[in-house]
Chain A
Amino acid sequence: MDARMSARATGSVDVVVIGAGQSGLAMSHFLSKRAIEHVVFERGDVANSWRTERWDSLRMLTPNWQMSLPGHAYSGSNPDSFMTMPEVTEFISAYARATNAPIASGTEVTSVSPIDGGYLVVTPDYRWIARAVVLASGAFNVPRIPAASSALPDDIHQLSAHDYSGPETLPDGGVLVVGGSATGVQLADEIYASGRPVTLAVGEHVRMPRTYRGHDIQYWMHVTGLLDERYDAVDDIVRARNVASPQLIGSDDARTLDLNSLTREGVRVNGRLASVRGRNVMFSGSLRNVCKLADLKLGRLLDAIDEWIDTNGAAEAGHPSRRYEPTRVGDTHRLAVDLHRDDIRTVVWATGFRPDYSWLDVPVVDRKGNLVHDGGVVSAPGLYVLGLPFMRRRKSSFLHGAEDDARELSEHLTAYLDGCAQPAYFRLAI
């Protein structure tokens, strides 16, 4: 036996699932149905990221009717509303209770490494030998902060969307929000409403109306099959997986939040942050083009929806086809800003997130830090992942996207376990 293994108590289990969010719990559900022995390790409490790593005002981008986990649909009285983070946390926690998932909470996995016939999974108190491991620890663990952040002057307060909780926690004065995803536009909107002047730096982005032809845009994405579009059916999956989240906000009045609405409010929209030299920040002159790209892409989405409505005879009275005003890019956007002269005190990086695999001692991460996998089947035998953007389908990183992916990967995992001879030490280890 490896000398390292004697340091802590060692146990064995067929499958270790890492993370008790929607993905880990959905996988646990299917493993239980197949009577496969497993344990779900959770570094905090169930739905930890939803509970601790989101800003206060955030609500889901998907309406309540869309909230579902295997065998657990939304049953409340506001199907068209959008859950707050405490509500999402409760939704997932209720699911964990209902499914009686074997969760070890407060148990952080500090390393996963390959051993003969499986993996050694290390937690603070135990070493576990597992035949298969499911990585369900989330896609949004670590903020991606551009290198330019290190060139900002020391007196500029910097934080990522992870560390942001609300505008009241920011210093007075102007704020530069970097990033045009759902996060960037929502933070720009809320910080501006707090009375702070806001500049928003926008690169490539995805523009969407909240509602279209009488329904939430997610309804159309669902019925037209876009959300179910498979990873092996798109032209360029690398590109599809890197697309920013659409500019959407969940609110009671189902309002549309886009660059035009932000500009109308008074937010200054500039191009992508191009460089930082001390207090001088430069923005790309590509703003017109990224807006044009987003407008054209929106046009194609609405064309597809209209076509589906025509084909299926689903037109409703009073909800005709329409197109939106192109993104207004006037002559007021700026290419350079002097942070001190403009009294910008804070920079918020809403520049995306990446998964954290620092504890994964398996050679399955490429030079860009991405996990090498085929629709969630990782390149090392018996290793699976869940919940990454467009992992198996466009909806893979959505809460309701966990079900189909977990079902299919649990089938793959079962076949893997069945076809795999069990080494003697699995029985001897305890």
Chain B
Amino acid sequence: MNTHEDSIDNGVNVEALLGARAALTQAPQAAAFVWRASSEWVRGTHTRSKVEKFFGLGEEQSRGKSFDFDTDHPEIFASEDNGATPVEFVLVALAGCIGAGIATVAQNRGIQLNSVKAVLEAPMDLQGILGIDGDVRNGFDHITVRYEIDADATEAEIAAIVAQSQKRSAVFDIVTNPTDVNVEVRKV
């Protein structure tokens, strides 16, 4: 790495990530991760979900703490608005994933970020989820992400960082490509 790259700091430990990449190339089985969340219905449209442990590098991983997330619906749906709607969590996840990628790619390319702000918008026709019109899908019509980035780089370099971040983003992949979903139910 040259001096210029040494002096920039987006708070991402690129050496550790590159080391992990090299290690996982040699031991692909350690790259098999499993992400988990648990949830419990509270009342009405309110559900509380918890994220704690995950599996990776060949063993159970514990953070030593957990994160709670309340999902609900706003009052115009006659709900109590105890949390963001689940679809808003999808936008949150997308922003978080691309954002992490932007910081990482910028660090790897020796580019200092000063500020990275995004506004996400996703139109949705409620005729889908309400079962009014079978031709309307339940989910988003599309998603628009608008980034405003202040960085020590050219416009093309910044655009390339954002494009590369999408290319390597798990959530971007999850929302742009189909995923097989298996929901099992057991009566208790």
Give the contacts of A56-84 with B (CB-CB under 8 A).
Answer: none
Return chain A residues, CB-CB under 8 Å to B28: 367
* B156-A300 in contact (CB<8A): yes
Return chain B residues, CB-CB under 8 Å to A289: 163, 166-167, 172
A49–chain B nearest beta-carbon distance, Å: 31
1/0 contact string of B15-36 vs chain A (CB within 8 Å): 0000000000000100000000
Give the contacts of B138-175 with A (CB-CB under 8 A).
Answer: 142, 156, 159-160, 163-164, 166-167, 172-173, 175
A292, closest chain B residue (CB):
B163
Answer yes or no: B178 CB below 8 A from chain A CBs: yes
Of A207-215, A279-287, A348-356, A411-419, which binds chain B?
A279-287
A289 to B160, CA, bound (A): 10
Interface residue count on the B side (C-beta < 8 Å): 15
Answer yes or no: A296 CB below 8 A from chain B CBs: yes
Interface residue count on the A side (C-beta < 8 Å): 16
Contacts A274-B177, A274-B178, A275-B178 given; indicate if A286 touches B166 (C-beta within 8 A).
yes
A286 to B176, CA, bound (A): 6
* A296-B176 in contact (CB<8A): no
* A296-B159 in contact (CB<8A): yes
B178: contacting residue among A282, A292, A367, CB under 8 A: A282
Return chain B residues, CB-CB under 8 Å to A292: 159, 163
A335 to B175, CA, bound (A): 12
Contacts A292-B159, A292-B163, A293-B163 given; indicate if A271 touches B178 (C-beta within 8 A).
no
B165, closest chain A residue (CB):
A289
* A299-B156 in contact (CB<8A): yes
Return chain B residues, CB-CB under 8 Å to A286: 166-167, 172-173, 176-177
Return chain A residues, CB-CB under 8 Å to B167: 204, 286, 289-290, 293
B11–chain A nearest beta-carbon distance, Å: 23
A282 to B178, CA, bound (A): 8
1/0 contact string of B31-59 vs chain A (CB within 8 Å): 00000000000000000000000000000
Return chain A residues, CB-CB under 8 Å to B156: 296, 299-300
A289 to B165, CA, bound (A): 10
Give the contacts of A355-377 with B (CB-CB under 8 A).
Answer: 367
A296 to B163, CA, bound (A): 9
A284: contacting residue among B160, B163, B176, CB under 8 A: B176
Contacts A286-B172, A299-B156, A300-B156 given; indicate if A293 touches B178 (C-beta within 8 A).
no
A290 to B167, CA, bound (A): 8
A367 to B27, CA, bound (A): 12
A285 to B172, CA, bound (A): 9
1/0 contact string of B71-95 vs chain A (CB within 8 Å): 0000000000000000000000000
B143, closest chain A residue (CB):
A285
B164: contacting residue among A271, A274, A284, A293, CB under 8 A: A293
A285 to B144, CA, bound (A): 12
Give the contacts of A273-329 with B (CB-CB under 8 A).
Answer: 274-275, 282, 284-286, 289-290, 292-293, 296, 299-300
Give the contacts of B98-131 with A (CB-CB under 8 A).
Answer: none
A274 to B142, CA, bound (A): 17
A285 to B177, CA, bound (A): 7
Contacts A296-B156, A299-B156 given; indicate if A285 touches B176 (C-beta within 8 A).
yes
* B159-A284 in contact (CB<8A): no
Return chain A residues, CB-CB under 8 Å to B178: 274-275, 282
A331, closest chain B residue (CB):
B142
A290 to B177, CA, bound (A): 14
A285 to B176, CA, bound (A): 4
A369–chain B nearest beta-carbon distance, Å: 14
B180, closest chain A residue (CB):
A275
B5–chain A nearest beta-carbon distance, Å: 13
Q: Which residues of B contact A (CB under 8 A)?
A: 28, 142, 156, 159-160, 163-164, 166-167, 172-173, 175-178
22 chain-A/chain-B pairs, Cβ below 8 angstroms: A204-B167, A274-B176, A274-B177, A274-B178, A275-B178, A282-B178, A284-B177, A286-B166, A286-B167, A286-B173, A286-B176, A286-B177, A289-B167, A290-B167, A293-B163, A293-B164, A293-B167, A296-B159, A296-B160, A299-B156, A300-B160, A367-B28
